[in-house]
């Protein structure tokens, strides 16, 4: 068996269902792979998933495309590269508790935003506000990452970035009304999140292993699309206690169409990635101009 490790971008949730299905149903074993799935609760985000790839702790990690760009353009660049997208559509949004005071992004001026401290995150949110006619003046705080959602719920911040197919589902379960602003509605051509990333230098020597891993993972996600109830039962034991109340079936039904199909699963569309790279350049958020092949590849 060939040992591989993947670091998830968060505690187990609906976005990760295909990995656990592939593991439980023997899809990885079919390709002679022994896959260890590591989530962020192991070290409470002390080392980010992407950093684990850089340090050689894991073979794969999940992160937003912005992390790939950041690693490629930092003072000591690292050849991080995306090899697949988990979602074919952006299911994220900037979210606030609906209370009538924030009706559109411009109303976030002067409000408190809980940030994950990702390299471009704060600037992206400010640009959204500006595109809606505001000034982009936020009070930004940086809570412990795994506690950011609770920060919003408890009123310690006014807004944060969420996944509509996870925190959005949780909010509905709790009867919590949210107002959500999608980046695409405010002229921000956001890319993919999350993506599966690797150290590009290892692709040549591990090409078959990596390709087999992606094939088995795809089978896991396509299984979850077709056999939703069985997939939910596989995922359920891995869900942290704090999320145990979330309606997993509702979350999967919401998410399932966005996994793509056997022709689209994992696909990274060059035009979509390039639009985001061009936007970062046009807004002066990145000094180094990258192209699609710098940040993504097809195995």
Q: For residues 196 and 82, state if they share a domain.
A: yes
How far is residue 291's CA from residue 255's CA, in Å, rounded to a whole number?
29
What is the model's pLDDT at position 146? Answer: 86
Q: Which two tokens stand for residue 286?
A: 């990145």
Task: Indicate the residue among 186, 217, 249 that finishes a domain.
Answer: 186
Number of domains making up the chain: 2
How far is residue 299's CA from residue 295's CA, in Å, rounded to a whole number?
13
Domain span holding position 170: 92-186
List, for residues 202-220, the tens digit of each pLDDT value: 999 999 999 999 999 999 9
Q: For residues 57 and 101, state if they share a domain.
A: no
Low-confidence ranges of the chain (pLDDT < 70): none
**Cα–Cα–Cα angle for 11, 13, 15, rounded to 5 degrees:** 120
What is the model's pLDDT at position 42? Answer: 86
Q: How would you list the strands of the sheet with 60-63, edge to edge?
A: 33-38, 2-7, 60-63, 195-199, 80-85
Of 109, 95, 103, residue with least CA distance to 138 = 109
Task: Indicate the residue among 152, 186, 220 that finishes a domain.
Answer: 186
Task: Indicate the residue among 131, 154, 186 that finishes a domain.
Answer: 186
Q: For residues 251 and 168, state if they share a domain.
A: no
Residue in this structure with the two tokens 């900037």, named with its chain if needed:
94
Contacts of 120 (CB under 8 A, 6+ apart): 66, 69, 70, 280, 285, 286
Q: For residues 182 and 126, state if they share a domain.
A: yes
Domain containing 208 — which CATH number?
3.40.190.10
Q: For residues 111 and 228, state if they share a domain.
A: no
Crossing angle of the two packed helices 17-24 and 207-226, in degrees rounded to 10 = 100
Q: For residues 196 and 257, state if they share a domain.
A: yes
What is the model's pLDDT at position 33? Answer: 98
What is the model's pLDDT at position 99? Answer: 85
How far is residue 154's CA from residue 148's CA, in Å, rounded to a whole number?
10
Q: Is 28 helix (H, G, I), strand (E, B) or coil?
A: helix
Q: Which residues are bridge partners to 196 per DSSP?
A: 62, 84
Is residue 91 within 8 A of residue 163, CB to CB? The reply is yes
How far is residue 294's CA from residue 1's CA, in Å, rounded to a whole number?
32
Of 188, 220, 182, 187, residue with least CA distance to 84 = 220
Helix (H), strand (E), coil (C) string for 51-84: HHHHCCCCCEEEECHHHHHHHHHCCCCCCEEEEE
What is the model's pLDDT at position 100? Answer: 83
Q: Model-level pTM? A: 0.96
DSSP state letter for 112: E
What is the model's pLDDT at position 175? Answer: 92
What is the model's pLDDT at position 238? Answer: 97
Crossing angle of the two packed helices 270-282 and 65-73, in degrees rounded to 10 = 60
């Amino acid at each position: 068996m060939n040992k591989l490790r993947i670091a998830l971008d968060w505690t187990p949730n609906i976005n990760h269902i295909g990995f656990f299905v592939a593991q439980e149903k023997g899809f990885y074993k079919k390709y002679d792979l022994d896959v260890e799935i590591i989530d962020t609760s192991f070290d409470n985000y002390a080392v980010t998933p992407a950093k684990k790839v850089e340090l050689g702790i894991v073979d794969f990690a999940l992160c937003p495309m912005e992390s790939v760009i950041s690693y490629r353009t930092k003072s000591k660049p690292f050849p991080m590269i995306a090899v697949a997208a988990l979602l074919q559509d952006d299911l994220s949004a900037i979210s606030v508790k609906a209370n009538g005071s924030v009706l559109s992004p411009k109303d976030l001026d002067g409000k408190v935003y809980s940030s994950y401290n990702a390299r471009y995150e704060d600037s992206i949110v400010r640009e959204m506000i500006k595109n809606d006619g505001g000034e982009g003046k936020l009070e930004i705080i940086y809570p412990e990452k795994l506690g950011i959602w609770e920060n919003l719920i408890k009123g310690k911040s006014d807004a944060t970035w969420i996944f509509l197919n996870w925190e959005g589902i949780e909010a509905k379960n709790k009867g919590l009304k949210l107002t959500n602003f999608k980046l695409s509605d405010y002229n921000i051509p956001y890319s993919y999140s999350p993506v599966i990333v690797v150290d590009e230098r290892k692709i040549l020597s591990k090409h078959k292993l990596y390709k087999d891993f992606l094939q088995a993972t795809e089978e896991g996600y396509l299984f979850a699309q077709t056999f939703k109830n069985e997939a939910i039962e596989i995922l359920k034991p891995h869900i942290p206690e704090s999320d145990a109340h979330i309606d997993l079936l509702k979350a999967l039904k919401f998410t399932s169409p966005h996994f793509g199909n056997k022709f689209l699963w994992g696909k990274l569309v060059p035009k979509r990635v390039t639009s985001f790279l061009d936007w970062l350049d046009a807004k002066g958020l990145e000094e180094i101009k990258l192209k699609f092949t710098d940040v993504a590849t097809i195995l």
